[in-house]
Structure 1
Amino acid sequence: MTRVWHLFDATWQNPLQCAPLIAKYLQGRHKPIYHPLNDCGDHVVVINSLRIALPGSEWRWRVYFHHTGYPGGASWTPAWQLHDKDPTMIVKKAVYSSMKGNLQRRVTMQRLHIFPDDQIPEDVLANLTHKLRPLRPTPDPLDSYDAEQVETFPKLVDYPEDYVLR
């Protein structure tokens, strides 16, 4: 019956695919006591939203709509430009749109806490109890391997000593 705090690492994750998973925990659909009129959802803390990954040329072609409410205040912003302005906004908009048809989604979105890096405030960090499994595995960066692992990695082609790249 209590609200649990979940941690989700968005590094190398597609926010459009992860949004239904995050929305499921925000709405409480993973609990046996779930009912659409019952507000039993949990808190979800998303870290590293600065390092999300969109497939193909989605950074260039995906646009987000915003209207100021004034005449002529409509604007369409490309994903890369929105991500430069606010690195948390793409994840927030993806989760919000994945809860389409939910009458309580404005209240539900207040339980979503998004941080652009892995720096979490102490009061939020003290509440975390569970970590959500990412949808795709995060590869290790090349500088994390030591020289021995690089040497023992199987080679596809063994170039001769006198080979010159042009």
Structure 2
Amino acid sequence: MSVLCLRQVKKAFWIHTNGEVWEVKVKTYMAKPEEIKREWYLIDAKGKTLGRLASEIAKILRGKHKPIYTPHLDCGDYVVVINADKIKVTGKKLTDKIYYRHSGYMGGLKEIPLQRMLAEHPERVIELAVKGMLPKNRLGRKMFKKLKVYAGEEHPHQAQKPKKLEI
């Protein structure tokens, strides 16, 4: 029995063999919450470019690196980032990039340049970059809770035995 033609039309394959036509339905795999196994990863941010690092972290938090990725489920892993104070930015972003936040009151707009943010809250720089790359809904907030960022070398997650990940 030889297959002469195989083409996909609306999640179904039509197989033509020796004048016969068969229709084979294809079902999309959807992971179930109990099937998802979470791991812990340790990433050293020393000397890494901010945006490139943030996009890789967001991919791991969403679970897009796994073959069982399902868009409507949180199937991502935990990420611990150390040395957030030694992150690198390109161009003139250190002086030109400004973070904005508002208190909610009249005239309550605050502007903080990246240079000052790195000096005062280096972990917040990575958190804001990753948060902007996650979905803006309940699922995104749940994914964001799995990100742990620390300014120095030390972190309190040795008990979880995180795997060192090179990016």
Fold shared by both chains (TM-score > 0.5): yes
Which whole-Å deviations, capped at 9, do the CAs of 1:110-148 have from their partners, x for residues lacking one? 100001011111xx11213422212xxxxxxxxxxxxxx
Counterpart selection for 1:84 from 114, 119, 126: 119
TM-score (norm 1): 0.75
* Higher percent of residues as strand: 2
Residue 159 (structure 2) aligns with: 126
User: Which consecutive residues of structure 1, in runs of 5 or more, have no partner in the other structure?
Assistant: 135-166
Q: Secondary structure at the match of 2:64?
A: coil
CA distance in 2, matches of 1:114, 1:101: 20
Q: Tell me, yes or no, if the aligned pair for 1:4 and 1:128 is still in contact at 8 Å.
A: no
Runs of 4+ in 1 over 2 A off after TM superposition: 100-103
Give the drift of 1:71: 2.0
Counterpart selection for 1:56 from 91, 99, 112: 91
User: Which consecutive residues of structure 2, in runs of 5 or more, have no partner in the other structure?
Assistant: 1-35
From the CA coordinates, give the structure whose radius of gyration is larger: 2
Identity rate, percent: 34
TM-score (norm 2): 0.74
Relative distance call for 1:129 and 1:119 in structure 2 (3 A) is: closer
Residue type matched to 1:59 in 2? Answer: L
CA distance in 2, matches of 1:99, 1:36: 12
Residue type matched to 1:86 in 2? Answer: H
CA distance in 2, matches of 1:113, 1:42: 11
Q: Which has the higher contact order (CA 8 A, sep 6+)?
A: 1
